[in-house]
Structure 1
Amino acid sequence: MTTAPRWLRTAAVLAALSLGSIAAQAQEIVVSAAASLTNAFQDIGKAFEKTQPGAKVTFNFAASGALLAQMTQGAPVDVFASADQETMNRAVTAKLIAEGTRADFVHNTLVLIVPATAANPPQKLADLTGDAYKRISTGTPASVPVGRYTMESVQQAGLTAALEPKWIYGESVRQVLNYVARGEVDAGFVYRTDAMIERDKTKVALTVPTSTPISYPIAQLAASKNAATAKSFVAFVRGAEGQEILSRYGFSKP
């Protein structure tokens, strides 16, 4: 029996390792998701990887507008989950989204929170005009969806001018949550799901009605190099197990 030359055997091993590496890379995806999805999506990622041997999900969490800016500038992303429809609409207009992959997957609720130690929480939005509330936080409206929802509600209540000098803007809804939890502001507008995370440091004073439903869309990126795994991840998020995890964190079905 003739033994293959050492160089040939080495080449075969290297080729096999290379193919294995390519196969592994084909199952790796990057998911850019709204900051409010952080905890729920981290759990979803772990659950998804268990159902897809070899799959690896890397998350990038930030305000939806900041994520859109990154993708517009060429950031390699496979799946995008936004906290509002407007940002996803802009992604579609920029031709970043794979056609036919966009779908709503959860709803949320806007709430007003105060530090847990606050003695007399506001009973209505108009109470925020009082001297007890000198610093009020929400997300930067231009890039953070919770900021836009907040401004719509404040405008509907006729409080735009009265509250204008009091705003402290955060780069994401989680930054707003942190401001309130640390007592750096007197009140803040966040999603109910965020308030649930800091129950020992904050408390919900009001549920704030919004004219625009707070619905989250998810979609594959047109430039995704791992479309099959991206498609599987989106299906998992929308499926029974993904929805159950989202429900545990306070999200509701669309």
Structure 2
Amino acid sequence: MRPLLVSLLALAFALPLGASAQQITVSAAASLTDAFKELGPRFEAARPGATVRFNFAASGVLLQQIAQGAPVDVFASADQETMNRGAEQKLVDVATRRDFAANSLVLVEPAQEALGLKSLQDLAGARVRRIAIGKVATVPVGRYTRQVLDNAGLWTALEPRFVQADSVRQVLDYVSRGEVEAGFVYRTDAAAAGDKVRVAFTPTGHAPVTYPVAVVADSRQKALAAEFVQFLFTPPAQAVLARHGFARP
């Protein structure tokens, strides 16, 4: 009996979590945190017996986790470039890829100590000592920021003032705490900060900020994962996204 018991225990531990109850893990861009936390219970209510867990971080970091074998079922990115890498590495099911939301880049200042910045050129002024930006290698908002500053011919001049952040939410934290004079975030993040930050202006000169979503290729709950992707396009889900400031792609 002992070998049989050992074999049964080994089989039990080998089974994936959620094998008996349907559960999916959704890895989503940090800027989606508030909206997805509201959408999770709504999806569960519409799909009795299902559970959604969320993992929020910079899109590039999330893709690295998936590449390293993290048990993820759905990936939602804040940019096309990161999802393209996922497709090239065969980490996502490209047949399920769709754009479900859009956003815009803004420059924000600490509300209590705003300098009244009105243009990108103002960032080169002596009063601006620190500028928070997302890390270009892993944080989509950092890449959008670089596109803006490269097109304005300001990236090299401003680079010594950059404070690198691991996610757009960290950029927002730096600004809201007054640790920097300015930072580049999405409009939805600025809205989530309430009266802690002030939107100075909306820069141009970057690729459209659109959010693609796809089922992860190695998902063990592909049917439920696909249902979550479809759920994002339903009127109730789109209404939640709109309330958090997201636009249709």
Same fold (TM over 0.5): yes
In the alignment, the residues of structure 2 paired with residue 134 and residue 59 of structure 1 have an alpha-carbon distance, to the nearest angstrom, of 36
* 1:135 and 2:116 aligned: no
Deviations 1:162-189 (A, max 9, x none): 2011000100000000000000111000
Supply the distance in 1 between the matched residues of 2:205 and 2:96 (Cα, whole angstroms): 27
Aligned equivalent of 2:28 = 33
Of 210, 213, 233, which aligns to 1:238? 233
User: For the Cα contact (< 8 Å) 1:110–1:210, is it kept in 2?
Assistant: no
Residues 40-55 of structure 1 aligned to structure 2 (within 5 Å):
40-55=35-50
The within-5 A match list for 1:49-128 is: 49-128=44-123
Query: Matched residue pairs, number?
Result: 233
Say which is worse superposed, 183-192 or 236-245, in terms of deviation: 236-245
Give the corresponding residue for 2:139: 144
Runs of at least 4 residues off by over 6 Å: none
| Match of residue 158 from structure 1 | 153
- Are 1:112 and 1:205, in contact at CA under 8 Å, matched by a contact in 2? yes
Q: Give the C-alpha shift of residue 119 in structure 1.
A: 4.3
- Identity, % of aligned pairs? 54
Deviation at 1:121, TM superposition (A): 1.6
TM superposition shift of 1:98: 1.4
Q: CA RMSD in A?
A: 1.2
For residue 208 of structure 1, give the secondary structure of its aligned residue in structure 2.
Answer: coil
Aligned twin of 1:226: 221
TM-score calculated relative to the size of structure 2: 0.91
Superposed displacement of residue 208, structure 1: 1.2
Aligned counterpart, 2:188: 193
| 2: CA distance, partners of 1:238 / 1:94 | 26
Structure showing greater Rg: 1
In the alignment, the residues of structure 2 paired with residue 153 and residue 56 of structure 1 have an alpha-carbon distance, to the nearest angstrom, of 40
